[in-house]
């Protein structure tokens, strides 16, 4: 899952406000 999201971020970084936002979402999803 993490790798897929990393690819999404790399392919379309405009989808994300910032890298911190990405990490926060990943941490939330991992719970």
Per-residue confidence (pLDDT) for residue 1, from 0 to 100: 64
Number of domains in the chain: 1
Which residues constitute the domain of residue 5? Answer: 1-31
pLDDT tens by residue, 1-31: 678 777 776 777 666 567 788 788 889 988 6
Cβ burial 1-31 (10 Å sphere, 16+ → b, else e): eeeeeeeeeeeeeeeeeeeeebeeeeeeeee
Provide the whole-model pTM: 0.36
């Amino acid at each position: 899952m993490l790798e897929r999201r990393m690819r999404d971020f790399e392919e379309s970084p405009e989808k994300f406000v910032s890298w911190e936002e990405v990490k926060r979402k990943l941490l939330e999803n991992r719970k």
